[in-house]
């Protein structure tokens, strides 16, 4: 029987404030485009598709090909 | 025509900087209501800033950090966030503070890189949105966000087409007869191409229908639901096609129901060539805006 915990790699990290295990793509979905938009003196239009896509590609390829994952436990990716 | 001077927010920041002795901007992570956020003071936050501190704004407490304005000008932020490692560091730092805040009090996370030229401006902006912030806090209090994604598992390249299903047309996958090598081989090739395309279309339709079933079932458990933008294929060899990227706002205490539902849906989806992935609980980032949320409550 498949349990949900198999795909919640960071369960338990919640209490320790250890967001390192959070799936990065899911995190970016959330911190970039959403939240209450409060117009700041400086609000960056980073939710636009092209930049996010480019950044994600740069990020994923750097994690997977060039450098070891920057977190200790091997990471979720 | 003379070259127009480039007036940007970045230059605004710089101007404001030269006018004050401290070149700092106020970076807001989140806004809390009630609770006991005192424990947040002194968190490290972004490496180039001072410690995280609390900024009272009316009935709220904003979780903020003084950061060097030049490191957070529009240009600087854009550049940093285009760098994969830097983007990850910023996002994880932001998220760490947001999570810490959410453990202390009901919390509305603000998007990455929400900055103001000083506390007063930050206060003014937040005060202007007091109603919306209250509405957001009312919506998310006692609830958590769960991320559910579904992927169509790629078919094997040599998988047989749906010839049996489509009936009618013959499927001459066998080698062409020697006597008609030219046109026979050509037709066989076209048939193979067509049958592969049909198989692909069929898999895709099946996967999309499966995704809709998953979404419908999970909405029953959720207070609100939101479909996020689908991810394209990654550059890391992940050839799966994402068919669902959704967020569900679920009352605390119903996690086991969610887990059970996902378990059932998974078995069904597996048969349709679809894999379901879940992560959570998240601070309800996707449900504080009020804009695109489909409220299922009323």
Delimit the domains of chain A by residue range.
4-66
Best mutation target, A34, A62, A65, to test chain B (most B CBs within 10 A): A34
Residues of chain B contacting A72 with CB distance shorter than 8 Å: none
Q: List every span in chain B annotated with CATH 3.30.70.
A: 144-159+192-295
The predicted structure's pLDDT at residue A63: 39
Residue B55 phi, psi dihedral angles, 5° rounding? -125, 105
The predicted structure's pLDDT at residue A3: 38
Residues of chain A contacting B278 with CB distance shorter than 8 Å: 4, 7-8
What ipTM does this complex have? 0.76
Measured between CB atoms, does A77 come within 8 Å of chain B?
Answer: yes
The predicted structure's pLDDT at residue B108: 93
Residue B159 phi, psi dihedral angles, 5° rounding? -65, 140
Give the residue among B86, B100, B78, B83 at the shortest CA–CA distance from B47. Answer: B86
Best mutation target, B96, B101, B111, to test chain A (most A CBs within 10 A): B111
The minimum CA-CA distance between B158 and chain A, rounded to whole Å, is 28
Which DSSP string do the residues of chain A spell out, in sequence order? ---GGGG-TTTTHHHHT-GGGS-HHHHHHHHHH-S-----SEE--TTSHHHHHHHHHHHHHIIIIIS--SSTT----
Predicted structure pTM score: 0.73
Measured between CB atoms, does A9 come within 8 Å of chain B?
Answer: yes
Sign for the pseudo-dihedral over CA of B15, B19, B23, B26: negative
The minimum CA-CA distance between B142 and chain A, rounded to whole Å, is 16
Question: Across residues A22-43, what is the average pLDDT?
Answer: 65
The answer on pLDDT for A17 being more than 90 is no
Name the average pLDDT for chain A.
46
CATH code, residues B144-159+192-295: 3.30.70
The minimum CA-CA distance between A73 and chain B, rounded to whole Å, is 15
Q: Do B9 and A42 touch (CB under 8 A)?
A: yes
Count Cβ–Cβ pairs < 8 Å, chain A vs chain B: 191
Q: Which two tokens stand for residue A59?
A: 């990020």
Give the residue among B261, B149, B225 at the shortest CA–CA distance from A4. Answer: B261
At B44-73, the pLDDT tens digits run 999 989 999 999 999 999 999 999 988 887
| Spans in chain B with pLDDT lower than 70 | 1-22, 155-182, 232-238, 290-298
Helix B119-128 to helix B130-140 angle (10° resolution) is 70
Nearest to B234 among A8, A28, A60 (CB): A60
CA B143/CA B145 separation, integer angstroms: 7
């Amino acid at each position: 029987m498949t349990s949900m915990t198999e795909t919640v790699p960071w369960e338990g990290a919640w209490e320790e404030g250890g967001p390192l295990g959070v799936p990065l793509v899911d995190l970016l979905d959330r911190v970039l485009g959403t939240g209450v938009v409060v117009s700041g003196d400086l609000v960056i239009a980073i939710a636009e598709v092209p930049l996010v896509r480019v950044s994600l590609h740069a990020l994923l390829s750097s994690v997977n090909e060039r450098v070891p994952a920057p977190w200790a436990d091997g990471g979720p990716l | 025509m003379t070259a127009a001077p480039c007036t940007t927010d970045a230059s605004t920041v710089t101007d404001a900087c030269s006018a004050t002795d401290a070149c700092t901007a106020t970076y807001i992570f989140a806004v809390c209501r009630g609770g006991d956020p005192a424990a947040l003071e002194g968190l490290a936050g972004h490496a180039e800033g001072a410690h995280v501190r609390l900024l009272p704004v009316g009935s709220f407490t904003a979780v903020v950090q003084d950061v060097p304005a030049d490191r957070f000008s529009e240009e600087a932020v854009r550049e940093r966030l285009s760098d994969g490692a830097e983007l990850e560091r910023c996002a994880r730092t932001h998220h760490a503070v947001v999570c810490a805040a959410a453990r202390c009090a009901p919390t509305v996370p603000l998007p990455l890189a929400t900055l103001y030229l000083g506390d007063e401006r930050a206060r003014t902006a937040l005060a202007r949105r007091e109603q919306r912030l209250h509405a957001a806090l009312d919506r998310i209090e006692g609830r958590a966000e769960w991320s559910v994604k579904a992927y169509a598992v790629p078919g094997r390249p040599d998988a047989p087409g749906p010839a049996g299903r489509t009936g009618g047309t013959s499927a001459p996958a066998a080698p062409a007869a020697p006597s008609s090598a030219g046109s026979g081989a050509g037709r066989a090739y076209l048939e193979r191409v067509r049958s592969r395309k049909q198989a692909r279309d069929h898999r895709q339709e099946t996967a999309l229908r499966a995704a809709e079933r998953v979404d419908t079932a999970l909405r029953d458990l959720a207070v609100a639901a939101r479909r996020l933008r689908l991810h394209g294929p990654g550059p890391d060899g992940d050839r799966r096609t994402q068919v669902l990227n959704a967020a569900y706002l679920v009352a605390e205490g119903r996690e086991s129901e969610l887990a059970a539902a996902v378990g059932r849906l998974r078995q069904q989806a597996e048969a349709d060539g679809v894999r379901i992935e879940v992560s959570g609980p998240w601070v309800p980032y996707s449900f504080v805006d009020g804009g695109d949320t489909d409220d299922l409550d009323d």
